[in-house]
Amino acid sequence: MDVKDLSWFPGHMAKTLRSIAERLPQVDVVLETCDARIPHSSRNPELDRILGTKPRVVVLNKADLAEETWTRAWVRALETSSCAAIPVDSLHRSGLDRVRNAAADLCAGRIERAAERGRIFRPVRAMVVGIPNSGKSTLINALSGRKAARTEDRPGVTRGAQWIRGEGPLELMDMPGVLWPNLGSDFRRLRLAATGAVRDEVVSTEDLAEGLVGLLAARYPDRLRARYKLEDLSLPAFELLEAAARKRGCLLPGNRADLSRFCAILLDEFRGGVLGRMTLETPDDIGADRIAPAVLPEAGD
């Protein structure tokens, strides 16, 4: 995959990372959103370093777009004594009570000590962090039961962190989304771009579609074949795109395949869940950041 600029890292993101580190002592727990389709690639390693052992709830957001079997495997892989992992569909507001309970459980010791001293523990203070587009605003809106203002990720419009009252004993601190320098390996960049976490800044649509079709041919061959009426998935990714474009009627004068039109369709359909619920990486893949991991069983296998 052709990456446009290896030194890619907007300056305001470095500022956000510093701001997260500064505000960490003010909160009891961190809610870290990631995309349940790519729970490894959508977690910022810089955040991981900054958050250290702070009690954390990893919110596997957009769980409605991921395969349940693999989401369960990710939950098992991510949970530790100071970290809970909860699948959530913020858009349709499911999994929210589990997030509230997990946040409270991680602070249970402090709540009990406060009760012993006859004091009612103040609301649990949670900082919401994650990469852009991982659903932080949607999660905050869902947890607070209202339409909260969005914290922008762009330079110039980033506001200071703000407290938002959640439903139940929870206060939320909204932070802007943050990525990390260079975005790691091709493995991660492909998955981040395919799910819409990073847009055109990092990869061109056609390079991205080529990477995605290769990934889907390895991960979900039956669905790819059925959706785009492809016969021979052993073709190089570029030829698969051409064949699929023709079948879809994306043609230019001279009967040439209109690749840019088809690539946009493929990305839209993948991102919109038209191809079905998909998980693009499993806990077993991440050790070596493998680009073409073993074929996953299709749902229900």
φ, ψ (nearest 5 deg) of residue 159: -95, 165
Closest residue by Cα to residue 193 from 293, 129, 267: 267
Q: How far is the CB of 249 from ligand G4P (least distance, A)?
A: 26
Contacts with ligand G4P by CB under 6 A: the residue count is: 17
Q: Which span (11-19, 105-113, 133-141, 185-193) binds ligand G4P, by CB under 6 A?
A: 133-141
CA torsion angle for 101, 103, 104, 105 (degrees, to 10)? 80
The yes or no reply on residue 62 touching ligand G4P (CB under 6 A) is yes
The yes or no reply on residue 41 touching ligand G4P (CB under 6 A) is no
User: Which one, 70 or 107, has the nearer CB to ligand G4P?
Assistant: 70
Q: Which of residues 176-235 bind ligand G4P (CB under 6 A)?
A: 177, 196
The yes or no reply on residue 43 touching ligand G4P (CB under 6 A) is no
DSSP 166-222: PSSSEEEEE------GGGSSHHHHHHHHHTTSS-TTTS-HHHHHHHHHHHHHHH-HH
Q: What is the DSSP letter of 230?
A: -
Give the whole-angstrom CA distance, residue 260 versus residue 274: 19
Q: How far is the CB of 301 from ligand G4P (least distance, A)?
A: 24
Other CB atoms closer than 10 Å to residue 92's CB: what's the count? 11
Which residue pairs from 39-42 have beta carbons closer than 8 angstroms and sit at least 24 positions apart in sequence?
39/74, 39/78, 39/281, 40/188, 40/281, 40/283, 40/285, 40/286, 41/184, 41/187, 41/188, 41/191, 41/192, 41/280, 41/281, 42/130, 42/131, 42/134, 42/191, 42/192, 42/195, 42/197
The yes or no reply on residue 133 touching ligand G4P (CB under 6 A) is yes
Q: How far is the CB of 272 from ligand G4P (least distance, A)?
A: 9
CA torsion angle for 89, 93, 95, 100 (degrees, to 10)? 130
Q: Which span (12-20, 51-59, 60-68, 283-291) binds ligand G4P, by CB under 6 A?
A: 60-68
Q: Which span (21-29, 59-67, 161-169, 221-229) binds ligand G4P, by CB under 6 A?
A: 59-67
Q: Which of 16, 42, 138, 279 binds ligand G4P (CB under 6 A)?
A: 138
User: Which one, 84 or 140, has the nearer CB to ligand G4P?
Assistant: 140
The yes or no reply on residue 71 touching ligand G4P (CB under 6 A) is no
User: Which one, 31 or 124, has the nearer CB to ligand G4P?
Assistant: 31
Q: How far is the CB of 82 from ligand G4P (least distance, A)?
A: 23
**Alpha-carbon torsion (17, 19, 20, 24), positive or negative:** positive
DSSP β-bridge partners for residue 57: 31, 84
The yes or no reply on residue 91 touching ligand G4P (CB under 6 A) is yes
User: Which one, 46 or 64, has the nearer CB to ligand G4P?
Assistant: 64
Residue number of the CB closest to ligand G4P reads 135
User: Which one, 132 or 166, has the nearer CB to ligand G4P?
Assistant: 132
The yes or no reply on residue 65 touching ligand G4P (CB under 6 A) is yes
Please report, as ranges, the residues that interact with ligand G4P according to CB under 6 A: 61-62, 64-65, 89-91, 130, 132-138, 177, 196
